[in-house]
Amino acid sequence: MRSRLRFSIALGLAVVLGAWLAYTSLGGALETYAGPTEIEQGTTYRLNGLVAAGAPEDAAERAQSSSGLTFTVVDKDDPDRRVEVLYRGSVPDQFKDGREVVVTGAIGRDGVFVAEKDTMVTLCPSKFSDDPTEHSTGQPPA
Protein backbone atom coordinates (compact mmCIF):
# COMPACT_ATOMS: atom_id res chain seq x y z
CA MET A 1 0.00 0.00 0.00
CA ARG A 2 2.82 2.38 0.88
CA SER A 3 4.73 1.73 -2.37
CA ARG A 4 1.54 2.36 -4.37
CA LEU A 5 1.17 5.80 -2.70
CA ARG A 6 4.81 6.68 -3.48
CA PHE A 7 4.34 5.59 -7.07
CA SER A 8 1.18 7.72 -7.39
CA ILE A 9 2.93 10.78 -5.96
CA ALA A 10 5.96 10.28 -8.23
CA LEU A 11 3.72 9.81 -11.27
CA GLY A 12 1.69 12.94 -10.42
CA LEU A 13 4.88 14.96 -9.96
CA ALA A 14 6.24 13.71 -13.30
CA VAL A 15 3.01 14.72 -15.07
CA VAL A 16 3.07 18.22 -13.53
CA LEU A 17 6.74 18.75 -14.40
CA GLY A 18 6.20 17.41 -17.95
CA ALA A 19 3.26 19.76 -18.47
CA TRP A 20 5.28 22.73 -17.18
CA LEU A 21 8.18 21.83 -19.50
CA ALA A 22 5.86 21.57 -22.51
CA TYR A 23 4.19 24.90 -21.67
CA THR A 24 7.48 26.79 -21.29
CA SER A 25 8.98 25.19 -24.41
CA LEU A 26 6.01 25.93 -26.63
CA GLY A 27 5.00 29.27 -25.10
CA GLY A 28 6.92 31.42 -27.59
CA ALA A 29 5.94 29.22 -30.50
CA LEU A 30 2.27 29.78 -29.78
CA GLU A 31 2.49 33.45 -30.73
CA THR A 32 1.22 33.96 -34.25
CA TYR A 33 3.46 35.30 -37.01
CA ALA A 34 1.54 37.90 -38.99
CA GLY A 35 2.10 40.59 -41.57
CA PRO A 36 0.62 44.10 -41.42
CA THR A 37 -2.52 42.90 -43.21
CA GLU A 38 -3.28 40.20 -40.63
CA ILE A 39 -2.97 41.88 -37.24
CA GLU A 40 -5.98 42.66 -35.08
CA GLN A 41 -6.31 44.65 -31.90
CA GLY A 42 -6.11 42.77 -28.61
CA THR A 43 -3.87 39.89 -29.71
CA THR A 44 -0.11 39.51 -29.34
CA TYR A 45 1.67 38.83 -32.61
CA ARG A 46 5.14 38.44 -34.00
CA LEU A 47 4.92 41.09 -36.71
CA ASN A 48 6.90 40.03 -39.75
CA GLY A 49 7.56 42.41 -42.63
CA LEU A 50 10.02 44.70 -44.38
CA VAL A 51 11.30 47.99 -42.98
CA ALA A 52 9.87 50.78 -45.14
CA ALA A 53 12.01 53.49 -46.72
CA GLY A 54 12.81 56.31 -44.36
CA ALA A 55 13.96 54.18 -41.43
CA PRO A 56 16.84 55.60 -39.38
CA GLU A 57 20.12 54.80 -41.16
CA ASP A 58 22.89 55.05 -38.59
CA ALA A 59 23.31 54.59 -34.84
CA ALA A 60 22.91 58.31 -34.15
CA GLU A 61 19.57 58.41 -35.97
CA ARG A 62 18.48 55.20 -34.25
CA ALA A 63 19.09 56.75 -30.83
CA GLN A 64 15.70 56.51 -29.28
CA SER A 65 13.77 59.31 -27.72
CA SER A 66 11.96 58.71 -24.45
CA SER A 67 8.96 57.52 -26.45
CA GLY A 68 11.03 54.99 -28.45
CA LEU A 69 12.00 54.32 -32.05
CA THR A 70 9.23 54.71 -34.63
CA PHE A 71 9.41 53.12 -38.06
CA THR A 72 7.07 51.58 -40.62
CA VAL A 73 6.78 47.92 -41.58
CA VAL A 74 5.30 46.95 -44.96
CA ASP A 75 3.80 43.61 -45.94
CA LYS A 76 6.15 41.44 -48.01
CA ASP A 77 3.38 40.45 -50.41
CA ASP A 78 1.45 43.75 -50.57
CA PRO A 79 3.69 46.86 -50.25
CA ASP A 80 0.60 49.09 -49.98
CA ARG A 81 -0.26 47.49 -46.61
CA ARG A 82 1.80 48.95 -43.80
CA VAL A 83 1.77 49.57 -40.07
CA GLU A 84 3.67 52.02 -37.91
CA VAL A 85 5.75 50.40 -35.15
CA LEU A 86 6.82 51.88 -31.81
CA TYR A 87 9.83 49.98 -30.46
CA ARG A 88 11.93 50.32 -27.33
CA GLY A 89 15.13 48.40 -26.76
CA SER A 90 18.31 47.48 -28.54
CA VAL A 91 18.28 47.85 -32.32
CA PRO A 92 20.23 45.22 -34.30
CA ASP A 93 23.09 46.48 -36.47
CA GLN A 94 21.42 45.01 -39.57
CA PHE A 95 18.31 47.21 -39.15
CA LYS A 96 17.84 49.27 -42.33
CA ASP A 97 15.43 50.03 -45.18
CA GLY A 98 14.20 46.91 -46.94
CA ARG A 99 15.44 44.48 -44.27
CA GLU A 100 13.03 41.85 -43.01
CA VAL A 101 12.28 42.26 -39.31
CA VAL A 102 10.25 40.46 -36.67
CA VAL A 103 8.97 42.24 -33.54
CA THR A 104 6.64 40.90 -30.87
CA GLY A 105 3.81 43.08 -29.58
CA ALA A 106 0.24 44.17 -30.13
CA ILE A 107 -1.63 46.84 -32.05
CA GLY A 108 -2.79 49.76 -29.92
CA ARG A 109 -6.06 51.67 -30.07
CA ASP A 110 -4.40 54.33 -32.21
CA GLY A 111 -3.40 51.76 -34.87
CA VAL A 112 0.29 51.80 -33.92
CA PHE A 113 1.93 48.42 -33.29
CA VAL A 114 3.58 48.67 -29.87
CA ALA A 115 6.47 46.21 -29.71
CA GLU A 116 7.68 44.62 -26.51
CA LYS A 117 11.10 45.75 -25.30
CA ASP A 118 14.11 44.04 -26.89
CA THR A 119 12.10 41.77 -29.20
CA MET A 120 13.38 43.00 -32.57
CA VAL A 121 15.13 40.48 -34.79
CA THR A 122 16.43 41.25 -38.28
CA LEU A 123 16.57 38.42 -40.79
CA CYS A 124 19.44 37.96 -43.20
CA PRO A 125 18.02 37.32 -46.68
CA SER A 126 20.77 34.90 -47.71
CA LYS A 127 20.03 32.53 -44.83
CA PHE A 128 16.41 32.08 -45.89
CA SER A 129 16.84 31.87 -49.64
CA ASP A 130 16.34 28.78 -51.74
CA ASP A 131 19.09 30.00 -54.09
CA PRO A 132 22.52 29.22 -52.56
CA THR A 133 24.22 31.71 -54.95
CA GLU A 134 22.50 34.75 -53.40
CA HIS A 135 24.58 37.09 -51.25
CA SER A 136 23.61 38.98 -48.11
CA THR A 137 21.97 41.66 -50.25
CA GLY A 138 19.36 39.14 -51.33
CA GLN A 139 20.31 39.65 -54.99
CA PRO A 140 21.99 37.07 -57.22
CA PRO A 141 25.59 37.81 -58.15
CA ALA A 142 26.20 39.80 -61.34
pLDDT at 141: 46
In this structure, the answer to whether residues 7 and 48 fall within a common structural domain is no
pLDDT at 8: 93
In this structure, the answer to whether residues 25 and 90 fall within a common structural domain is no
In this structure, the answer to whether residues 75 and 103 fall within a common structural domain is yes
Q: Distance between CA 32 and CA 17 in Å, rounded?
A: 26
**DSSP code at position 52:** P
In this structure, the answer to whether residues 47 and 113 fall within a common structural domain is yes
In this structure, the answer to whether residues 38 and 100 fall within a common structural domain is yes
pLDDT at 127: 57
Here the CATH number for the domain that contains residue 71 is 2.40.50.140
Q: Is 0.75 topped by the overall pTM? A: no
Q: Distance between CA 76 and CA 60 in Å, rounded?
A: 28
pLDDT in single tens digits along all 142 residues of the chain: 788 999 999 999 999 999 988 877 776 665 667 888 888 888 888 999 999 988 776 655 555 667 788 899 999 888 889 999 999 888 888 888 889 999 999 998 888 999 999 999 998 766 555 655 544 444 444 4
Structural contact between residues 72 and 54, judged by C-beta atoms closer than 8 angstroms: yes
DSSP alpha helices (H): ranges in the chain? 2-26, 59-62
In this structure, the answer to whether residues 24 and 56 fall within a common structural domain is no
Structural domain containing residue 88: 31-128
Q: Distance between CA 52 and CA 49 in Å, rounded?
A: 9
